[in-house]
Chains A and B, each alone.
Chain A
Amino acid sequence: AARAQSEAVNQQQQQSGAEGEQPRVEDVDDEEEDADKLLLYGSKQIIRLFVPVSICMLFVVSIISTVSYYSSTQQYLPYTPFHDQTDDPGKIAWQSILNALIILGLVIVMTIVLIVLYKLRCYKVIQGWLYVTSVLILFFFSLIFFGVLLSTLNLAFDYITMAVCVWNFGLVGQVAIHWKGPLLLQQMYLIFISALMALVFIKFLPEWTTWVLLVLISIWDLVAVLCPKGPLRMLVETAQERNESLFPSLIYSTTAAYMSVGTAEQPQQQQQHDGNVSSDLDESGSHQQQHQAAAQVLNGGGGDGGEAGVSGGHDGDGPDAAGAGSNGLRVRNKAFHDESHGVKLGLGDFVFYSILVGRASSAGDWNTTLSCYFAILIGLSLTLLLLAIGRRALPALPISITFGVIFYFLTSLIVSPFVDALTAQQFFI
Chain B
Amino acid sequence: IRAGRLRERSRRAVRGAGQPARRCPASFSPSADTPGHHLPRPPRFASVAPDGSGVGPDEPFQPGRSPRIGEHTCGLLAELGYSEAEIRQLLAEGRAVQCSTDGSPQPASAAMTLLEFFGCSLISFSPALIMFIFTVANNPLKIIILTCSAFFWLLSLLLSSIVWFAVVPLRKQLVFSMVVSILFQEAIRIAFYFFIKRRRGAAAASSAGGSEPLTDADQVTLTAGTGRPVKILHLHSLSYVCGLGFGFMAGAFSMVNLLADISGPGSVGLGGEHEGFLLVSSVLALMFVFLNICWTVVTFVCIEDRRLYFLAYVWGSHLLCSLLTLLNSSASPLLSLVPIMVSLTCALIGLLLSLHLVEANLAGFFTSLVSPAWMLRVCRR
Considering only residues 362-401 of chain A, those with a C-beta below 8 Å from chain B are 362-367, 370-371, 374-375, 377-378, 381
A30-B6 in contact (CB<8A): no
Q: Could you write out 5 A-B pairs with CB less than 8 Å apart?
A: A28-B226, A47-B140, A362-B10, A366-B257, A367-B257
A30-B226 in contact (CB<8A): yes
Number of interface residues of A (CB under 8 A): 53
A423-B202 in contact (CB<8A): no
For A44, the chain B residues whose CB sits under 8 A away are 140, 206, 209
Closest to A45 in B: B140
B158-A410 in contact (CB<8A): yes
B174-A364 in contact (CB<8A): no
A46-B140 in contact (CB<8A): yes
The minimal Cβ–Cβ distance linking A84 to chain B, given in whole angstroms, is 13
Is A268 close to B, CB under 8 A?
no
Residue with the highest number of chain A CB atoms closer than 10 Å, among B3, B6, B208, B322: B3
A418-B147 in contact (CB<8A): no
Closest to B143 in A: A47
Is B204 close to A, CB under 8 A?
yes
For A425, the chain B residues whose CB sits under 8 A away are 174, 328-329
Closest 7 CB pairs between A and B? A426-B328, A364-B6, A47-B140, A366-B256, A418-B161, A43-B140, A40-B204
For A283, the chain B residues whose CB sits under 8 A away are none
CA distance A198 to B163 in the complex (A): 35
B253-A381 in contact (CB<8A): no
For B203, the chain A residues whose CB sits under 8 A away are 39
The minimal Cβ–Cβ distance linking A375 to chain B, given in whole angstroms, is 7
Closest to B227 in A: A23
CA distance A3 to B65 in the complex (A): 68
CA distance A425 to B174 in the complex (A): 10
For B326, the chain A residues whose CB sits under 8 A away are 427
Task: Assess A374 versus B224: contact at CB under 8 Å? Given A32-B201, A424-B1, A428-B325.
Answer: no
B257-A72 in contact (CB<8A): no
B226-A415 in contact (CB<8A): no
A residues adjacent to B (C-beta < 8 A): 22-23, 28, 30, 32-33, 35-37, 39-40, 43-44, 46-47, 50, 71-73, 85, 338, 362-367, 370-371, 374-375, 377-378, 381, 407, 410-411, 414-429
A418-B165 in contact (CB<8A): yes
For A35, the chain B residues whose CB sits under 8 A away are 202
The minimal Cβ–Cβ distance linking B52 to chain A, given in whole angstroms, is 21
CA distance A410 to B160 in the complex (A): 12
Number of interface residues of B (CB under 8 A): 71
Q: Mark B164-188, 1 if CB is under 8 A from A, else 0.
A: 1100000100100110011001000
Stretch at the interface among B279-287, B299-307, B370-378: B279-287
For B201, the chain A residues whose CB sits under 8 A away are 32
For A428, the chain B residues whose CB sits under 8 A away are 250, 254, 284-285, 288, 321-322, 325, 339
Is B225 close to A, CB under 8 A?
yes
Q: Of A28, A46, A414, which is within 8 A of B144 by CB?
A: A46
For B9, the chain A residues whose CB sits under 8 A away are 364
Residue with the highest number of chain A CB atoms closer than 10 Å, among B10, B285, B339: B10
CA distance A23 to B228 in the complex (A): 8
For A411, the chain B residues whose CB sits under 8 A away are 158
For B165, the chain A residues whose CB sits under 8 A away are 414, 417-418
Is B355 close to A, CB under 8 A?
no
A374-B154 in contact (CB<8A): yes
For B281, the chain A residues whose CB sits under 8 A away are 423, 426
Is B4 close to A, CB under 8 A?
yes
B3-A30 in contact (CB<8A): no
Beyond the given A374-B147, A415-B161, could you list 15 further A-B residue pairs with CB under 8 A, ordered by the A residue number? A23-B226, A28-B228, A43-B140, A85-B15, A365-B6, A370-B253, A374-B150, A377-B147, A381-B148, A418-B157, A418-B177, A420-B3, A421-B174, A426-B329, A428-B339
B325-A364 in contact (CB<8A): no
Q: Of B10, B147, B208, which is within 8 A of A40 by CB?
A: B208
Is B230 close to A, CB under 8 A?
yes
Task: Assess A33 versus B253: contact at CB under 8 Å? Given A377-B147, A425-B329.
Answer: no
Task: Assess A422 versus B178: contact at CB under 8 Å? Given A72-B14, A363-B7.
Answer: yes
A378-B151 in contact (CB<8A): yes
A338-B208 in contact (CB<8A): yes
The minimal Cβ–Cβ distance linking A131 to chain B, given in whole angstroms, is 36
Closest to B318 in A: A429
